Amino acid sequence: MQGKDTCDIYCYDEEKVNRIQQLMTNVDLLKVAKLFKALSDENRAKIVYSLCEDDELCVCDIANIIGSTVANTSHHLRTLHKQGIVKYRREGKLVFYSLDDEHMRQLMLIGLEHVEEVKANV
């Protein structure tokens, strides 16, 4: 029934493995990984945090906030947009970015809570 003792490759609990693999077919963990990857850069985390504090910001304001070039900022915003994290609207020459939905504010909040707690435990 189970492979807890010696088997050809390694020990493993076949039942558990199968059950979880089955559950995993229902969720898109590659997409989730990509979502987190978009948030995994300090500059992009700063952008998302900024958009938690201010509803709308134009590209050059964001560039100034994160202390980077406009080209680099635009690049990062594209990455965030591809994952549905930010949206934008054009107003004349300016392009204003904002958070796409409430999920991002929640993720950032929980993330910040977590690192505060971890820091406290050290």
Partner DNA sequence: CATACAATCAAATGATTATTTAAATGACCA
Partner DNA sequence: TGGTCATTTAAATAATCATTTGATTGTATG
Q: Which of 1, 5, 6, 10 binds its own copies (CB under 8 A)?
A: 10
Listed ranges 17-25, 38-46, 47-55, 104-112: which one lies at the site for DNA (CB under 7 A): 38-46
> Judged by CB under 8 A, does residue 24 bind its own copies?
yes
Is there binding between residue 95 and its own copies (CB under 8 A)? no
Please name the helix (run of DSSP H) or strand (run of DSSP E) that holds residue 89, with its range, or none. Answer: strand 86-91
At CA 104, angle to CA 35 and CA 44, rounded to 5? Answer: 65
Q: Which is nearer to its own copies, 98 or 101 (CB)?
A: 101
Q: Which residues pair with 106 in a beta bridge?
A: none
CB-CB neighbours of 2 under 10 Å: 11
User: Is there binding between residue 71 and its own copies (CB under 8 A)?
Assistant: no
